[in-house]
Structure 1
């Protein structure tokens, strides 16, 4: 298996639907046009491919100068635990290493917490910061 990475955000709706549904992010695939537009309008998208198969993706929004927000990072289930997500996040962190604020929101789970802590993220519940969110 040879995984390649691509910085092109022109990914087909079908490939996106397969990836997001595989990881059970169904809220995104309820409106494929909105998902497709959100990918194309992102500050940065790096995708992981096995040949012509989309196997992973990281998506960043923000200004790229003072803040980036990692909106999505996902890998097909059959490709998880092979270092693909780590490579995706490391590419983003390297590209935006001079950006002061690198933010993300995610679900609470031991494996999720371990992944982000392994990649030098600190949970706001363990520091001097507070995080707020409003969900519609």
Structure 2
């Protein structure tokens, strides 16, 4: 595999809807691509979108939402299966949060896969209840 480049997007150089749909499908996130217009609107409304590319092909994406002053929420981190285990995910997360180092809360919600827990812990995140006080609540729409 050629070198992976990581870059923050501006509003005018976000990945195309086709690229986004292909990447999300490659990791099985079909709930997002059922309404591709909404997903693209979400990307445009994000505080920061960071992409990983090999040559010109999109192989990863991370985005942060929030107010950028008191809370930043890591909404998505995706790495295509053929680009995994190359450090792409960690690079995406670090670059996504780079402008927000002074923000008090960096938050994310993820599923219960063991690999994900280890991945996020390697980036300095701690799960609530693992010596971290607090509660997390979430409500998903159908």
TM-score w.r.t. length of structure 2: 0.92
What runs of 5+ residues in structure 2 fail to find an aligned partner? Answer: none
Q: Indicate yes or no: 2:77 matched with 1:73.
A: yes
Give the Cα–Cα distance (whole angstroms) in 2 for the partners of residues 3 and 133 of structure 1: 34
Q: Deviations over 1:45-103 (max 9, x none)?
A: 00011111000000110011110000000100110111000111112333211000000
* Count of aligned pairs: 136
What runs of 5+ residues in structure 1 fail to find an aligned partner? Answer: none
Please provide the CA RMSD for this pair: 1.0
Specify which of 108, 114, 118 is matched with residue 114 of structure 1: 118
**Structure 2 match to 1:29:** 33
Deviant stretches of 4+, over 6 Å: none
Give the Cα–Cα distance (whole angstroms) in 2 for the partners of residues 90 and 6 of structure 1: 11
Q: Indicate yes or no: 2:8 matched with 1:7.
A: yes
**Structure 2 match to 1:55:** 59
